[in-house]
Structure 1
Amino acid sequence: MNLLGKKVLITGADGFIGSHLVEQLIEEGAQVKAFVYYNSFNSWGWLDSLSKDKLDQIEIFAGDIRDPNGVRTAMAGCDIVFHLAALIAIPFSYHSPDSYIDTNVKGTLNIVQAAKDLGVERVLVTSTSEVYGTAQYIPIDEKHPRQPQSPYSASKIGADCIAESFYRSFDLPLTIVRPFNTYGPRQSARAVIPTIITQLLNGMESIKLGDIIPTRDLLFVQDTARGFIEIAKSEKLIGHDCNIATNSEISVGDLAQELIKQINPSAKIVTDEQRMRPEKSEVFRLFGSNEKILENTNWKQSYTLSQGLAETIEWFKNPDNLKQYKANIYNI
Structure 2
Amino acid sequence: MRILVTGGAGFIGGHLAERFVRDGHDVTVLDNFDPFYDTRIKDHTVEICRDRAEAGEGTYRLVEGDVRDAELVAELIDDVEFVYHQAAQAGVRPSVEDPRTYDAVNVDGTLNVLDAARDTGIERVVLASSSSVYGKPQYLPYDEAHPTTPVSPYGASKLSAERYACAYSEVYDLPAVALRYFTVYGPRMRPNMAISNFVSRCLNDEPPVVYGDGTQTRDFTYIDDVVGANVTLLSADAADGAALNIGSTDNIEILTLAEEIRDQLAPELELEFAERHDADAEHTHADSSKARELLGYEPTRTIREGVAEFVEWYRENREWYEPLVRAS
TM-score with structure 2 setting the length: 0.91
SS at match of 2:126: strand
Which residue identity is paired with 1:188? Answer: R
Residue equivalent to 1:303: 301
Which residue identity is paired with 1:198? Answer: S
TM-score with structure 1 setting the length: 0.90
Shift of 1:46: 4.1
Paired positions, count: 318
Q: Bigger shift: 80-89 or 53-62?
A: 53-62
Shift of 1:311: 1.7
Q: Deviations over 1:173-198 (max 9, x none)?
A: 11111111211111112211112112
Shift of 1:144: 1.0
Task: State which of 109, 119, 122 in structure 1 corresponds to 2:121.
Answer: 119
Q: Deviations over 1:74-100 (max 9, x none)?
A: 212100000000112111111111111
- 1:238 correspondence with 2:240: yes
Which residue identity is paired with 1:21? Answer: L
Residue equivalent to 1:159: 161
Which residue identity is paired with 1:200? Answer: C
Unpaired runs of at least 5, structure 2: none
- 1:319 correspondence with 2:314: no
Task: State which of 39, 46, 49 in structure 2 corresponds to 1:48.
Answer: 46
Task: State which of 279, 287, 290 in structure 1 corresponds to 2:288.
Answer: 290
- 1:103 correspondence with 2:105: yes
> What is the aligned-residue identity percentage?
30
Q: Provide the C-alpha distance between the structure 1 equivalents of 2:194 and 2:309, rounded to a whole number of angstroms.
A: 16
Unpaired runs of at least 5, structure 1: 1-5
Q: Provide the C-alpha distance between the structure 1 equivalents of 2:249 and 2:88, rounded to a whole number of angstroms.
A: 25
Q: Provide the C-alpha distance between the structure 2 equivalents of 1:179 and 1:20, rounded to a whole number of angstroms.
A: 14
CA contact (8 A) 1:177 1:244 kept: yes
Shift of 1:214: 1.0
Q: Bigger shift: 104-113 or 52-61?
A: 52-61
Shift of 1:168: 2.0
C-alpha root-mean-square deviation of aligned residues, in Å?
2.0
SS at match of 1:98: helix
Q: Bigger shift: 176-185 or 41-50?
A: 41-50
Q: Provide the C-alpha distance between the structure 1 equivalents of 2:266 and 2:258, rounded to a whole number of angstroms.
A: 11
Residue equivalent to 1:264: 266
Which residue identity is paired with 2:299? Answer: Q
SS at match of 1:127: strand
Task: State which of 93, 96, 108 in structure 2 corresponds to 1:94.
Answer: 96
Which residue identity is paired with 1:37? Answer: N
Task: State which of 25, 28, 42 in structure 2 corresponds to 1:30.
Answer: 25
Q: Provide the C-alpha distance between the structure 2 equivalents of 1:172 and 1:52, rounded to a whole number of angstroms.
A: 31
Shift of 1:38: 5.3
Shift of 1:282: 3.3
SS at match of 1:266: coil
CA contact (8 A) 2:183 2:221 kept: yes
Residue equivalent to 2:277: 277
Shift of 1:9: 0.6
Which residue identity is paired with 1:295? Answer: E
SS at match of 2:238: helix
